[in-house]
Chains A and B, each alone.
Chain A
Amino acid sequence: MSASIIPHAGSGFPQSSSFSTVANFVVVNLFDNFNAADIDSLEMNILQELHQKSRLRGVLFNLNEVVTTDYHDLLRLSQLLKAIRLLGGRVGLCGINPGLASVIVAYDIDFYRELIGSDLDDLLDHL
């Protein structure tokens, strides 16, 4: 699997995430304690990338490192996923741990329509 880091020096991508592209998908590794402000910063960059680079097929979010989050941050993330879909991009989630899964169902955040994998390899297998 080849992965190239998208150069983002000074591009405004938040410190609470890292990026790469894999199989023409932007892979976003969200870090623990990401917040709505981080998603705000992410949103424009991701949407711009998708809009400008037609070869990109969508965005995969790896939540493997996310342990702590809250309702508003999850809701903000779900809004970002919707915006990506509106641009015709595919969306996938992976690396959700048991605690986070319990929180998501408890808050009834609608991630169920997304493509979901246990980890990134699993998610890529589904694509």
Chain B
Amino acid sequence: MAYGVVMEFDRFFKFSQLLLRDEFVLSYSGYVSEDILLAVGETLRARLEDHARDGTQIRNVFSIFVELMQNIIRYGVEGPQPGDGAGEKPSFGIVMVSENEGHMDVIAGNYVLPDEAEQLVERVEQLQSQSPEELRRMYRERLRKSPDESSKGASLGLIEIARRSTLPISCESTQTSDGLCFFMIKATV
């Protein structure tokens, strides 16, 4: 248990250091819903007007943000402190946009079930080594599959993130003390 607490502070400390070092554009941490996506997305766009180099960078960062938030809504779980009440509970997630020597990093993290985490890591790894042409071919192919056939391969949203990221996307999954995994993914524009 103590180890878990130390890890939490460790992560929190890293987070705080990042905020101090980099030009910080926006961060959201909490339950993620479609309403939150809209509100934070509009704030992000307004902030990007001041920070981004051009319209293309704004569009790519915003698009990646939308796909990451929707992935959290779809695949995330509510995390270690579930709210009360029955029915569908929103997923917990963190998203951060920071400016680093002219690049924009978009990082998202959320709790997922261990099986899901393993699949997500596999899918991101599948995309990492692909050329733009190959990513485009995968996008085309994926578009023509129904979302129900989603058991194999990266989702359309994940492929879009990889295509809009100017560096290969990366990810990491860390087991948490409560039997969940915290999945983190990063794109750079």
Q: Are A and B associated in one complex?
A: no
